[in-house]
Structure 1
Amino acid sequence: MIRILDGPEIRTVTIARPERRNALTPDGLDDLASAVREAHQPVVYVRGEGAAFCAGADLDVVAGLNRESAEEFAERGQRVANEIERADSVVVAGIDGAARGGGVELALACDVRVATPDATFAEPGVRLGLFGAWGGTARLPDTVGLGEALDLALSGRVVTAEEARRMGLVSRIVEEPRSVAEELAANASDALSIVKTRVRDRSPVEVQAEREAEAFGELVTSNADDIAARRDSGEWK
C-alpha cells in the first residue's frame, strides 16, 4: 500500500491503493508513519497513486468497528498525523485529484501542501454521521480559521484547488507538485529542519525568542564558510 522511492535529497512516499482511492487501513497508516519517520532525507514528498490523493479511512474497516475499536482507529490516525508533523524532515503533500476526510487531515499534518488544478477537498464524514477524527478538528481551524473550518466540516461540500488556496488549505497550485519538494530540497538541509521546528514552536513568545536566537547562532557557526562565499560572490546583492 505504501511505496517508497529514495533519492539523495527527497524520499517520495506514495499511497498506492488506487482501486480504493488510496483509502487507508490501520496497517496502511502504520506503514505511512514508518515511511515518514525513518526518512534520512531533508524532504519527504507524499503523494497518492492514480486519480486521488487519499480518500481517508477505508470504510470497509470503519463499518466493522465497535466503539472501542473505533476509538483505537481514531487514535492511530492521530498518532500518524502527529508523527508527520513532528518528523525531522520537511514533509510536502502533493495533492492531485481527490483528498477526502482523513486524506485532508493527513495533508494538514504536512509542512507544505501544494495542489494541482485538478485537486479537490472535502470533509464528507458528516453525511455518514461521522467526522474527521485524525486530528482534523484541531488542525483545520488552525489552518483555515474557525468559520471556514466549520463550513467545511458541517457541510461536507467539495472545495476546488483555487478555493483551497484562497482559504490557506494549500499554499500553491502547480502542474507538478514534486517541483515544490525539489525547490525546498535545494536549500540547506540543516536550515530546513531548524526553520520547520522554529515556525511550528507554540511555546510562549519569550521562550521562542530565546530558542530562535540560539538556532540562528548555530546555523551561522555551522554554515560560516558558505555564508562568506555567497557574500563574496555578490549573490545576495
Structure 2
Amino acid sequence: MLSVTDGDDYRVVALDRPAKRNALTRQGLDDLAAAVSDAPQPVVYVHGAGEAFCAGADLDTVRGLDGDSGAAFARRGQRTMNAIADADSVVVAGIDGPARGGGVELALACDVRVCTPAASFAETGVKLGLFGAWGGTRRLRQAVGATHAADLSLSGRTVDAAEAKEMGLVSRVVDDPRQVADEVAVNDPDALRELQSLLGADGDREETDDLEAGAFGRLLEQS
C-alpha cells in the first residue's frame, strides 16, 4: 500500500497501489498516518505511484459499511488527516494525475500542495450520495473560501491544474513537484518547525503576535 524511502533531508511516502489508483483502505489510512507522523526528517514528501495521486477511499471498503461502521471509517480517516496536519515535519503533497474525494482531503491535510499540469481535482462524493468526511469540508473551505468550496462539493465537478491554482487549492503548477520538497528541505529545520506551527495557528492578532515573538526568540537562542 505504501512505499517509504528515507533520505538525509526528507522522507518520501508513496501511495503504492496504482492498480486501484492508490485508493485508501483502513490499513492504508493507518499506515499513512504512521509513515508521516513517525518521520525523523523535518520534511515529508507525499505522492502517488502510477498515473494517479489518490482516488480517495477504497470503494470496496465503502460498499461494505453500514451507519455505525461508516461513521467509524470516517473517524479513522479524520485521525489520519489530522495526524498529517499535526505532524512535526513539513508535509509536501506532490499531485500528478487525478485526486478524487479523499485524495483531495489528503492533499488538503498537507502543509504545501503543488501539482503537475496533468493533475485534476474533484470532490466526487456527492455523485455517490456521500461527501468528504475526513475533515475535507472544513479544510476545503479554509483553502479556497466558502464560495469555491460550495461549488466543488455540491457539483462534484472536476477542475484542472490551472483552475486549482487560481482558486488556491494548490500553490504552484510545476513539472516536477519533488523539486519543491527539495526547496523546503534545504532550509533550517528549527525554523521550518516554528514556521509550520505559526502558519497553522488560528488565534486572534494578539495571540498570533505573541506566538511569533516567542518563536523568533527561540530560534535566536538556538543559533
TM-score (norm 2): 0.99
Counterpart for residue 35 of structure 1 = 35
* C-alpha distance in 2 between matches for 1:74 and 1:219: 38
Counterpart for residue 60 of structure 2 = 60
3-state SS, counterpart of residue 53 of structure 1:
coil
1:38-71, Cα deviation, whole Å (9 max, x unpaired): 0010100000000000000000000000100000
Counterpart for residue 190 of structure 2 = 190
3-state SS, counterpart of residue 69 of structure 1:
helix
Give ranges in structure 1 of 5+ residues lacking alignment. 224-237
Counterpart for residue 203 of structure 1 = 203
Counterpart for residue 73 of structure 2 = 73
* C-alpha distance in 2 between matches for 1:71 and 1:20: 23
Cα RMSD for the two superposed structures: 0.6
Find runs of 4+ consecutive structure 1 residues off by over 3 angstroms. Answer: none
Counterpart for residue 108 of structure 2 = 108
* C-alpha distance in 2 between matches for 1:66 and 1:23: 20
* C-alpha distance in 2 between matches for 1:3 and 1:150: 34
* C-alpha distance in 1 between matches for 2:143 and 2:185: 24
* C-alpha distance in 1 between matches for 2:71 and 2:132: 12
* C-alpha distance in 2 between matches for 1:206 and 1:173: 35
Cα drift, residue 211 of structure 1: 1.7
* C-alpha distance in 2 between matches for 1:85 and 1:211: 19
3-state SS, counterpart of residue 46 of structure 2:
strand
Cα drift, residue 221 of structure 1: 2.0
Q: Which has the larger radius of gyration?
A: 1
* C-alpha distance in 2 between matches for 1:127 and 1:108: 20
* C-alpha distance in 2 between matches for 1:172 and 1:204: 28
Question: How many equivalent residue pairs?
Answer: 223
Counterpart for residue 144 of structure 1 = 144
Amino acid of the residue matched to residue 11 of structure 1? Answer: R
Amino acid of the residue matched to residue 179 of structure 2? Answer: S
* C-alpha distance in 1 between matches for 2:48 and 2:141: 24
Cα drift, residue 205 of structure 1: 2.1
Query: For 1:87-102, what aligned pairs fall within 5 Å after superposition?
Result: 87-102=87-102
Query: For 1:148-167, what aligned pairs fall within 5 Å after superposition?
Result: 148-167=148-167
TM-score (norm 1): 0.93
1:97-126, Cα deviation, whole Å (9 max, x unpaired): 000000000100100000000000000111
Cα drift, residue 206 of structure 1: 1.6
Cα drift, residue 204 of structure 1: 2.7
Cα drift, residue 208 of structure 1: 1.8
* C-alpha distance in 2 between matches for 1:163 and 1:210: 36
* C-alpha distance in 1 between matches for 2:207 and 2:145: 25
